[in-house]
Structure 1
Amino acid sequence: MRRTLTRGSAPLATLAGGALGATLGVGWALAGWQVLAVVSLAAVVPAARWVDPGSDDVD
């Protein structure tokens, strides 16, 4: 499921980035990408603290 979502969203993100770059300029599109990367990292780091590295959910 995770791979389907990430690989399925890549073409949509490419189109959205191209449209944003064509509309606002490449600099703004790249700045938005960097902001999204930092926000994603800020969301993942606290979530990673809740994961028990010793547990394995695979049966």
Structure 2
Amino acid sequence: MPKKSDSKSCPYCGKPSVDAHAPFCSRGCKDRDLLKWLGEGYRIPGPAAPSGGVDSDGGEG
């Protein structure tokens, strides 16, 4: 059984975190957090992206 951390809590649900899944309490919370990032549930503020798109090689086509 994984050893529990003393002072940290899971950033997703608030339960005590477990070293095996740090900083989360379980694999479930870890996976739900990842899915929220992948589904654009979390966003980092910044300027709007240009509407023309991004050219991957930096040159013109």
TM range (shorter): 0.3 to 0.5
The structure richer in helix per residue is 1
Which of structures 1 and 2 has the larger relative contact order (alpha carbons within 8 angstroms, sep 6+)? 2
Which protein is richer in strand relative to its size? 2
Using the size of structure 2 for normalisation, the TM-score is: 0.34
- When the two structures are superposed, what TM-score results if normalisation uses the length of structure 1? 0.35
